[in-house]
Amino acid sequence: MATVQITLLGCGKMGSAMLKGWLADRDLDAQFTIIEPYADHLGWARAHKQVAIYKDCNAAITAGAPVSAVIVLAVKPQMMDEAIAAFGPLRDDNTAFLTIAAGISTSWLKTRLGAHAPVLRAMPNTPAAIGKGVTALYCDAAAADLAALATQLLRTIGIVVPIDDEALMDAVTAVSGSGPAYVFLMAEAMTEAGVSAGLPAALAKQLAEATITGAGALIEAAVEPPSILRENVTSKGGTTAAALMVLMADDGLSSLMERAVQAAKKRSVELGA
């Protein structure tokens, strides 16, 4: 297969995580054009001969950067309109666009990039920074044959889950896009509760954080679902049962989480409007 020409628009946190993964992927034969206005943090990427970094599209065009097979859109949603206006000869009719921006729909992009532009929409999350993200991927009909390449590009930052209905993206954002923050809050809340229960702060923090990472790893490793893992550590009349009586009350964690996820989904819909 010929070398794939990939342009990455925006090389911040997510863009850098993806680029690191792409450069480490021995099965990916690609050349990269990176468009990033403040590239001081990208010294590590300049060392790779298949990477060319430009401060904007004009600089890339002036330097003769080639037409892209795929342009990955990794700028903040509020920058997107301005950022995608200047591709010029960096794209042609066959160029596909892979967006990871929250709330930016394929129809919004097609209005600006052309009705026939192949567009793929993905929603990653922050554990992508250590290759442990989960990314939902939606391919519109015009981009169906690019799903394998998009999956390869996104797999470098974690697992990829295909979705066949773009309308699910708001709920995906509310569960996995924003989800790491819920778990970070859980670590904070357990630490605070440990201090209230009499533990020194440093010890409470260490115990809470190790418990959450350990329990996460156990979910990943175990065959049983989380509900069974929970039951396995809950003896009748014991300490865990006492805590779960509180957490599983009608106004407990499930109803709180439901309200939180609904709020995030509603906000995602608003941002995409």
Residues in contact with ligand NAP by CB under 6 A are: 9-15, 35-38, 74-77, 79, 82-83, 100-102, 123-126, 177
Q: CB of 57: closest distance to ligand NAP in angstroms?
A: 7
Q: Which of 57/146 has CB closer to ligand NAP? A: 57
Q: Which of 180/211 has CB closer to ligand NAP? A: 180
- Nearest CA among 161, 105, 173 for reference residue 137: 161
Q: Which of 57/149 has CB closer to ligand NAP? A: 57
Q: CB of 108: closest distance to ligand NAP in angstroms?
A: 13
In contact, 95 and 67? CB cutoff 8 Å: yes
Cα–Cα distance between 41 and 103 in angstroms, integer? 27
Cα–Cα distance between 150 and 72 in angstroms, integer? 9
Largest CA distance in the chain: 72
Q: CB of 95: closest distance to ligand NAP in angstroms?
A: 16
Q: CB of 167: closest distance to ligand NAP in angstroms?
A: 18
Q: CB of 56: closest distance to ligand NAP in angstroms?
A: 6
Q: Which of 18/96 has CB closer to ligand NAP? A: 18
From residue 202, alpha-carbon distances to 140, 182, 195, 205, 250 in Å are 49, 21, 9, 5, 33
In contact, 90 and 7? CB cutoff 8 Å: yes
**Which residue number places its CB atom closest to ligand NAP?**
12
Identity at 229, one-letter amino acid code: L
In contact, 102 and 178? CB cutoff 8 Å: no
Q: Which of 181/263 has CB closer to ligand NAP? A: 181
